[in-house]
Amino acid sequence: MSEALEIQEIHKEFLREASFNLTDLRTQVQLTYWSEQHFITQGLIELLPFGEILSNIRFYSYVDYSLEELVSKANQTLLYWRLSGITQYDGTPVTQLSLFYNETFLWHYSTPSYREEIHLQIQSGHRVRFLSRFLLSQTEIEVEFNKIRLQTDFNNNFQFVYTNSNTYQYKFANLRWQPICTILSFPLINPPTFSLPIMVPNALGRETEYQAYLTQVQGLPNNIHIQDHYWDSINSTPANTLGPTHVNTPSTGSDTD
């Protein structure tokens, strides 16, 4: 047996023993993706709360307790790609994956189901976020969160908009998370700069799947709800978990993270 065939057999045996539990990204209605392949490990997808509305406590809990586990699950996916021999369209090995939130699900299923709670939280000075992007490559991991704000008109009617993000980056070279925060003095109501959600949903005939996933999200124990204690005035992230913060835009106001 040639050396190449022997290595291939070793890889196959490892895959059988490892018993990777995989998820097909084409079945995940809460997200969209950019990649030439469609499979990641189930453990990784379970740590990515796409489609959920994150209260301040839920957000800080995720940053404090889930980021380290996210590295482990991401490494499992990288290992699966390598050992299974998954390639891109040109035959080269898969090197990265980008996931994004599904706009139709977030703005036309998830957000409307919590409309009043989101409204009350923002009016009470609480920040509300959602996971907007996840990047995995051979050199780094990134997770990005956007904030939901309120925009009002002359008749005091409001709509949801979204603004600047929190990005957390993990470099495999230095083995630590680095928060890269865009800190702007945006008010929670009527921010000067914002992005509008899509107005027309595009469910692509997957209404039943969207509704089923919404029911799953609503059954989660950490759903958004009005909090008696607001954590946004403190830094809850342990100093030994994250590196120094790199600030992209200096802030002159007090509305920071």
6-62 residue pLDDT tens: 555 555 555 554 567 889 999 999 999 987 678 889 999 999 999 999 998 899 999
Query: Among 239, 25, 62, which residue's Cα sits nearest to residue 166?
Result: 62
Query: Among 64, 33, 74, 67, which residue's Cα sits nearest to residue 50?
Result: 33
In this predicted model, what pLDDT tens digit does every residue of 205-257 receive, in sequence order? 999 999 999 999 999 887 676 555 544 444 444 444 455 444 444 333 334 44
Phi/psi for 177 (5° steps) reads -85, 140
β-strand partners of 142: 135, 169
End-to-end distance of the chain based on CA atoms, in angstroms?
Answer: 59
**Alpha helix (H) residue ranges in the chain:** 3-18, 42-46, 56-65, 67-84, 103-105, 111-113, 115-123, 207-218
Question: Global pTM?
Answer: 0.81
